[in-house]
Structures are given as structure tokens and as C-alpha cells.
């Protein structure tokens, strides 16, 4: 997997955290660097940690699935991407809260990083530098989450749905690319 693909996956995975960060920014009256850092760290750490867990789970089952790994990667990435796109078109309104407590942020960080766990499983089946991948995922998520808080605070929920749509499309495209490359080689 190339650096460019890892960056695209990182951006795609960060979109859920970005959308939630926008909501946080909407609900916080006055933001500062501490708030931006707290939100960014929670989301960045969990987005980086979950693929590590998935990677080691995937490595444990590698010998059983190497013949169908491309299909697994395609199905997982497409499933995550489709769900993100469905959320982008959903009429349900997310509840905004300015609560930055450990419990609240932990729940949000886990919820937005479950898809990163499944991506980590796919990393186990391909030639991925896991340290580079999780570092990129964590850093990009941290940065985009901070930007999300700022945008949410300044511009409202204008970008939330668009970020989910973009993230979903990126993950689906990467899944199709993996499947196409394997089937044509």
C-alpha cells in the first residue's frame, strides 16, 4: 500500500471524527486551544489505536484468509463507506453537547473509530507499514478534528454531511481499487 493510499484512508477514517468535531464546535460557546486539543487527542488516539487492534486480529487469521483477502478488504471498506454515505443523507439530527468529560469523549472516540478497527484488519492482509499507517491516521484525525471544532464553532453544520459523504466515497474507491488490482494481476 502506497503512502498516498494510506493518506487517503486516513482522511476517510477521520471524516466521522471531523463530523462529530463540527457538532462539538457548534455546541461550545467559546472555543480555545485546550478544547481543540482535547477533542483532537481523543479522536486521534482512538483512530490510531483501533487499526493496531484490528491489525493483530487480522494477523492471527491471515493463514485462513489470504486467498480471499482482497474480497474481505473490498467488502469491509465498501460497507464502512456505504454507511458513511447513508449517514450523510440521513435526516436524523445529531444531538449537540458541549460536554467534554472523559465518559462523553471516550464514548464518542470509540464510536467514531470502530471503522478504523476493521480497516486495521485489512492492513494485516496487505504490505502495510502499520507504524506509518497508524501514525498518519492519528495525526490526520487530530488535525481534522481540531479543524472540525473550529469550523463548527464558526460556520455551523454546513460541512458535517459533506465530510461524511467524502469519507465514504474515499473508502469505497480504495476498496474497489484493491479488488480491481487483485483480480487483474
pLDDT in tens, 138-183: 999 999 999 999 988 887 556 667 776 776 787 788 778 878 877 8
Average pLDDT, the chain: 84
pTM: 0.73
CB atoms within 10 A of CB 132: 12
- Write out pLDDT tens, residues 115-141: 898 899 889 888 799 999 999 999 999
Between 103 and 69, the more confident residue is: 103
Q: Which residue from 170, 121, 149, 143 is spatially nearest to 44, judged by alpha carbons?
A: 143
The pLDDT of residue 100 is: 87
pLDDT (0 to 100) of residue 97: 59
For 45, the 3-state DSSP assignment is helix
pLDDT computed for residue 156 by the predictor: 58
Q: What is the mean pLDDT of residues 17-44?
A: 89
Q: 12-26, 76-90, 129-143 — which one is most confidently predicted on average?
A: 129-143
Give the angle subtended at the CA of 43 by the CAs of 40 and 46, to the nearest 5°: 135
What is 80-146 written as a DSSP string? HHHHHHHHHH--PPPPP-----HHHHHHHHHHHHHHHHHHHHHHHTTT--HHHHHHHHHHHHHHHHH
Amino acid at each position: 500500500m502506497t503512502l498516498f493510499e494510506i493518506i487517503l484512508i486516513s482522511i476517510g477514517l477521520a471524516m466521522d471524527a471531523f463530523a462529530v468535531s463540527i457538532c462539538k464546535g457548534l455546541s461550545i460557546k467559546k472555543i480555545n486551544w485546550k478544547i481543540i486539543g482535547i477533542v483532537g487527542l481523543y479522536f486521534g488516539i482512538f483512530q490510531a489505536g483501533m487499526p493496531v487492534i484490528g491489525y493483530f486480529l487480522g494477523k492471527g487469521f491471515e493463514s485462513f484468509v489470504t486467498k480471499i483477502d482482497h474480497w474481505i478488504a473490498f467488502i469491509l471498506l465498501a460497507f464502512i463507506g456505504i454507511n458513511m454515505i447513508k449517514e450523510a443523507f440521513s435526516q436524523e439530527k445529531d444531538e449537540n453537547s458541549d460536554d467534554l468529560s472523559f465518559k462523553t469523549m471516550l464514548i464518542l472516540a470509540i464510536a467514531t473509530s470502530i471503522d478504523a478497527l476493521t480497516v486495521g484488519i485489512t492492513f494485516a492482509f496487505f504490505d502495510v507499514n502499520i507504524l506509518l499507517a497508524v501514525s498518519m491516521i492519528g495525526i490526520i484525525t487530530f488535525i481534522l478534528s481540531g479543524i472540525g471544532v473550529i469550523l463548527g464553532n464558526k460556520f455551523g453544520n454546513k460541512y458535517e454531511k459533506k465530510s461524511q459523504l467524502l469519507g465514504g466515497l474515499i473508502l469505497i474507491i480504495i476498496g474497489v481499487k484493491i479488488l480491481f488490482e487483485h483480480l487483474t494481476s
